Amino acid sequence: MMNDMTWVVVADAGRARVFQSPGLTVDLEEVDDFVNVAHSATTLTEKQEVEFSASEQKEKERDKFAKQVAEYLEQARLHQRFGRLRLIAESKFLGMILSCMSAQTHELVFEKVSKDYSALSVREIQERLQQS
């Protein structure tokens, strides 16, 4: 049986919030919220820090976080926790998440919104989704 749950992922390079809503409604319920620890504190070794400039470092950390988000969605798909995905993220980060996704998970993405809603409240996110 196909799961009729829609997952809405609202992310930026520093944080990803996952909501679920029944069917195509925007009745959001928070499922998960994870923070990119590397965004606020560096996780690279000192040797690596010397080798990478600050922008390269940020890029690596964003990439790592995008992989983490994609992997999380992959696991959730395997456990059939959702039937469709709405991805909302700042455009570059959205592209990073999509490029890290498996083809099967990618197929479940029915809406991509290139906007950063990560700092908004649940109510504000719901309002924006209703307008789109």
Q: Look at residue 10 in the predicted model and tell me its pLDDT.
A: 97
Return per-residue pLDDT of the chain as tens, 132 residues. 467 899 999 999 999 999 999 988 889 999 999 898 776 555 555 566 666 677 888 888 899 999 999 999 999 999 999 999 999 999 999 999 999 999 999 999 999 999 999 899 999 999 999 886
Q: Which two tokens stand for residue 78?
A: 């395997």
pLDDT of the residue at 55: 83
Predicted confidence at residue 126, as pLDDT, reads: 94
Distance CA 85, CA 20 (A): 9
Q: What pLDDT is recorded for position 114?
A: 96
Q: What share of the chain is helix, strand, coil (3-state, %, to 5)?
A: 45, 25, 30
Distance CA 65, CA 132 (A): 27
Q: Which domains does the chain have, with CATH numbers?
A: 5-131 (3.30.420.60)
Report DSSP state, residue 90: -
